[in-house]
Amino acid sequence: MRPALTRDLEGRSDVRSKKLPSATLHHFHRNHMSDVFQRAAEIRVVIGYMAEQHAGWVTSQFFGARTGAFLVPVFARTTFQAQCHGVTAAVARLHDEFIGVGRTHHLFRLPEVFEQGIATALNDSAFASELQRQTESQATALARLRVLSTAGKAAEGAVVVAGHFDDDPTPLMQVLAGLYIDAFQRGIRTFPFVRRV
């Protein structure tokens, strides 16, 4: 079907684009959100990994050298996913201690739809394998974070960041990633969060 041709008030022709069928929009939205969830999972896991590598951040060692000894017997097929969930819980707890809970969101405690989307993304074996490669070394993790971030200047402690997690939180996630990079490089602990609206 051809788009409708209309004329504006001055008589100029204007081609109006036809609306996409709702099934096409749903497919686009679903694929776009899948990308958003994967990006959120990647930023979260890589920052969690980096937090474990820097002294003074967290005491957990879900990405430590001896992790396999206690995770593999229980989570033989999903060891990496168990590492991701473990580091998320450890870093979320640390953030909650500094920020508090209720009426806030941070990278390790997102709105429920994003938590579910991240869980689904981590269950994709191809995505999980690629993400696992990002946590093989600090240099690899830091290089990937630089690609995923917008440069920022971190402050010590809990820091309110403007924005909210809506349909596409990619720009906000990039800002958060930039703050963590700066904190890791400067040897400080930062806990950026947004207030729920």
Per-domain residue ranges for the chain? Answer: 30-147
Quickly count: other Cβ atoms within 10 Å of residue 162's Cβ: 8
119 pLDDT band (50/70/90 cuts)? very high
The pLDDT of residue 22 is 41
With cut-offs at 50, 70 and 90, classify the pLDDT of residue 64.
confident
- C-alpha–C-alpha distance, residues 51 and 116, integer Å: 23
- pLDDT at residue number 117: 92
pLDDT, averaged across the chain: 78
Q: Is the pLDDT of residue 150 over 60?
A: yes
Is 91 or 27 the better-scoring residue by pLDDT?
91
Residue burial 6-41, b: 16+ Cβ < 10 Å; e: rest: eeeeeeeeeeeeeeeeeeeeeeeeeeeeeebbbbbb
Q: What would the mean pLDDT of 136-144 be, rounded to a whole number?
A: 89
**Which helix (H) or strand (E) is 120 found in, with range?**
helix 112-122
Angle, vertex CA 127, rays to CA 66 and CA 173, nearest 5: 90
Over residues 19-43, mean pLDDT = 64
Mean pLDDT of 106-116: 90
Helix (H) or strand (E) holding 84: helix 79-99
| Residue 20 clears pLDDT 60, i.e. is over it | no
Strand 190-195, strand 157-160: pairing: parallel
